[in-house]
Each structure stands twice: as structure tokens, then as C-alpha cells.
């Protein structure tokens, strides 16, 4: 097509809803066609999308999650459960990992229901402040190291080091920040800078979460200044039967030791897994075999504070 000799390039998007499966009346059909159109736009140009139940389910769960997050912030429903980790050799309690939940009356909502949406929402700032405050208060009260999982946007926020400094004055024990390898590798230059700044603080440690599942770019590992490598649950759970998985765990332990990093194995559920990991020289162990994530009252009992 052309207009006064100027060629015009037309792009289109389409959303289709079909009577009667996708709607019983015009209004419903139009709504669902609009939803399909939105999905088509997300996928690129010249795409026509048919409405389907999967799209509807996704959108519905997003709406529910958003409602849940807003409610949690308004009514202070975010809580942490704390999962202990132990010295592999002595079985001594060494610290806790904080794992977020939303507690709405008697119902507990787990991160898989809301963490992705939270991460991409405007509520992230409020959540980050709450999380930092909460965890640093607990480090002081319990006098134990605690780890905090950081999302990509939180980690990349240039305000983070300053904000962390504000919360970590007079910290008696370590605050460990857990970031995934993937997150770090998205932009190694920026990540390196942030980590260098964070590491100025003697009570902050950095742990690479789910290690082995990302790109595992070994050439960058030496620049990460990580203190801890966390061996992913998938290796821990398959290594008993899968020789290759076991070899990966052994390699991670050897590598960590050579680079003066510590190792934590997550998701340890059986005595055999524990024994293998201990024999391989893993430093710390975490998993249901020893302890599940627990509410703070239970931690207080465990520590003899209640
Ligand atoms: P993750 O950091 O890898 O945490 C480990 C997950 O495995 C937790 O699930 C924990 O409850 C579970 N787990 C611990 N031991 C065992 C075990 O022996 N067997 C099995 N099968 N599972 C075990 P959870 O609490 O549902 O958390 C899921 C993910 O959500 C976390 O994975 C983390 O990526 C994210 N997450 C949790 N809390 C936070 C948070 O405060 N901030 C951010 N950004 N992400 C969080
Ligand atoms: Ca973690
Ligand atoms: Ca993990």
C-alpha cells in the first residue's frame, strides 16, 4: 500500500473470542477478545491470538496475586518463616534463611503464589524496606546470622547499598544476601559494582543461590566476590542415583574450596543425602531432614528465648 508514493507498512494485532465457548453474550465475548488482543500485542507484530482458558487462568491468578499483595501491605500480613541451617560436621545450628509468606487469618500463602508479581510491581519498595527491617531486627534479637533472598530488581536498585547500611548499624551477626547466579550474570559489570559496594560492610555476606542451575559461567565466578555457594536442591536430590549429579556436587565443593568460599547444600531430605554431602566436605546443610522453615515463635522456643 502507498500514500502519495510513500510506501505504508501496516501492522496488525488480533484477538479472537468464539461464541459460545468464550462468552455467552456480546459483552463477555468482547472482553475476552480484548484479553486475547492484549496477549497478541505482548508477543509481537502481526499476531492473532485466540482466547483460551489458559490465558484466562493466568490473568485471573495475576489479579488474585495483586489483590493479595496489596492486602498484605495494607494489613501487615507479610511474615517470614525461618529455616535453620547447620554445620555439616557438628550438626550445630549456624543460622537461618528467611522465607517470605503472607499470613491471612489461618491461611498461609507461599512465594510461588505472589513473588513474581511482587517483583514486578510498585509494591516492591515497601516490601524491601519491610524485609530489611524485619530481618535485621531478628539478627539483633536472636544474635544469629540470617540470610535474605533478594530479587533481581532489589539487587540492581542503586539505593540498595545505602539502604542496607541504614539497617545494618551495630549488627551483631552476619546478614547474608542470597542472589541467584542468573540474576548476577544478567549484567556482570553492574552486579560487580553493587557487590563491591555491599562488601564494604564487614557484616554482609553474599551467597549465590541455586548454584549450578544457571549459566555457571566459571570465568565470572572469580569476580563475584561471593562468600558462599548454595548447591541447588535438584543436585542434592538426584545425586544419590545419578553419578553425574554427584560429580557436579563434588566439583562445586572443590571449586568453592579453591576459591575460599563456603558451601551450603539445600533441600537435604534424607540421612543418605546428608551423609554423602558431609563426606564430600560440604560446610553447611539445610533441608527438611533437619528442620523445615518455621514461624518466629518456634525459632524463639528453639533458641530458648520463650
Ligand atoms: P529458595 O531460596 O531456593 O528457597 C528454598 C525453598 O525450598 C523454600 O521454598 C523452602 O521452603 C524449600 N525447602 C527447604 N528445604 C527443603 C527440602 O528439604 N525439600 C524441599 N522439597 N524443599 C525445601 P519457599 O519458601 O516456598 O520459597 C520458594 C522460593 O521463593 C525461594 O527459593 C526464593 O527463590 C523465593 N523467596 C522466598 N522468600 C523470598 C523473599 O523474601 N524474597 C525473595 N525475593 N524471594 C523469596
Ligand atoms: Ca534462597
Ligand atoms: Ca533453590
- In a domain, residue 254? The reply is yes
* H or E element at residue 204: strand 204-211
The ligand with the least distance to the CA atom of 134 is 1
Residue 33 domain flag: no
The pick from 149, 179, 210, 277 for probing ligand 1's pocket by mutation, whose C-beta has the most ligand atoms within 8 angstroms, reads 149
* Each residue's pLDDT expressed in tens, for the chain with a length of 306 residues: 666 778 888 889 999 999 999 999 999 999 999 999 988 998 888 999 999 888 888 888 889 999 999 999 999 999 999 999 999 999 999 999 999 999 999 999 999 999 999 998 999 999 999 999 999 999 999 999 999 999 988 998 888 989 999 999 889 999 999 998 888 878 888 888 888 899 889 899 999 999 888 776 677 777 778 999 999 999 999 999 999 999 999 999 999 999 999 999 999 999 999 999 999 999 999 999 999 999 999 999 999 998
User: Is 202 within a domain?
Assistant: yes
239 occurs within a structural domain: yes
CATH number of the domain at 198, please.
Answer: 3.20.20.450
Q: Is 260 helix (H, G, I), strand (E, B) or coil?
A: coil
Q: Is residue 247 part of a domain?
A: yes
Q: Is residue 154 included in any domain, yes or no?
A: yes
pLDDT of residue 159: 86
Which pLDDT value is given to residue 45? 87
Name all contacts of 253-257 with Cβ < 8 Å and 24+ positions apart.
253/280, 253/281, 253/282, 255/218, 255/221, 255/229, 256/229, 257/281
23 to 26, 34, 55: CA distances (angstroms): 7, 12, 14
What are 211's strand-pairing partners?
Answer: 231
Does residue 198 lie in a domain region?
Answer: yes
In terms of residue numbers, what domain contains 181? 77-302
Report how many domains make up the chain. Answer: 1
- Long-range contacts of range 230-236, CB-CB < 8 Å, 24 or more positions apart? 230/178, 230/263, 230/264, 230/265, 230/266, 231/263, 231/264, 231/265, 231/266, 231/282, 232/266, 232/267, 233/266, 233/267, 233/287, 234/267, 236/265, 236/266, 236/267, 236/268, 236/273, 236/277, 236/287
Cell for 112?
A: 510461588
HSE of 253, CA atoms in CB hemisphere, 13 A:
20
Ligand closest to 291 (CA) is 1
From the CA of 180, give the closest atom in ligand 1. Answer: 34
Q: Is residue 277 part of a domain?
A: yes
Q: How many residues does the chain have?
A: 306
State which residues have CB under 5 angstroms from ligand 3, the bound ion: 210
CA 25 – ligand 2 centroid, Å: 48
Amino acid at each position: 500500500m502507498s500514500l502519495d508514493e510513500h510506501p505504508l507498512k501496516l501492522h496488525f494485532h488480533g484477538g479472537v473470542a468464539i461464541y459460545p465457548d468464550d462468552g455467552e453474550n456480546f459483552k463477555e465475548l468482547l472482553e475476552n477478545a480484548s484479553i486475547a488482543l492484549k496477549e497478541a500485542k505482548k508477543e509481537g507484530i502481526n499476531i492473532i491470538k485466540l482466547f483460551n482458558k489458559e490465558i484466562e487462568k493466568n490473568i485471573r491468578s495475576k489479579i488474585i496475586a495483586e489483590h493479595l499483595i496489596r492486602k498484605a501491605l495494607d494489613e501487615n500480613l507479610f511474615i517470614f518463616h525461618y529455616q535453620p541451617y547447620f554445620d555439616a560436621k557438628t550438626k550445630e545450628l549456624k543460622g537461618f534463611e528467611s522465607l517470605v509468606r503472607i499470613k491471612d487469618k489461618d491461611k498461609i500463602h507461599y512465594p510461588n503464589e505472589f513473588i513474581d508479581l511482587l517483583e514486578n510491581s510498585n509494591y516492591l519498595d515497601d516490601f524491601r524496606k519491610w524485609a530489611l527491617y524485619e530481618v535485621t531486627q531478628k539478627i539483633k534479637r536472636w544474635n544469629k546470622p540470617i540470610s535474605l533472598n533478594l530479587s533481581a530488581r532489589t539487587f540492581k536498585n542503586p539505593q540498595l547499598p545505602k539502604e542496607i547500611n541504614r539497617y545494618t548499624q551495630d549488627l551483631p551477626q552476619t546478614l547474608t544476601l542470597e542472589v541467584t547466579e542468573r540474576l548476577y550474570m544478567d549484567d556482570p559489570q553492574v552486579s560487580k559494582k553493587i557487590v563491591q559496594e555491599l562488601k564494604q560492610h564487614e557484616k554482609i555476606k553474599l551467597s549465590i543461590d541455586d548454584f549450578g542451575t544457571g549459566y555457571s559461567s566459571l570465568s565470572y565466578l572469580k569476580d563475584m566476590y561471593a562468600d558462599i555457594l548454595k548447591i541447588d536442591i535438584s543436585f542434592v536430590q538426584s545425586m544419590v542415583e545419578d553419578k553425574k549429579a554427584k560429580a557436579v556436587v563434588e566439583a562445586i565443593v572443590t571449586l568453592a574450596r579453591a576459591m575460599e568460599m563456603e558451601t551450603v547444600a539445600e533441600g537435604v531430605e534424607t540421612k543418605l543425602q546428608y551423609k554423602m554431602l558431609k563426606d564430600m566436605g560440604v560446610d553447611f546443610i539445610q533441608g527438611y531432614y533437619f528442620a523445615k522453615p518455621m514461624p518466629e515463635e518456634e525459632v524463639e522456643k528453639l533458641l530458648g528465648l520463650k
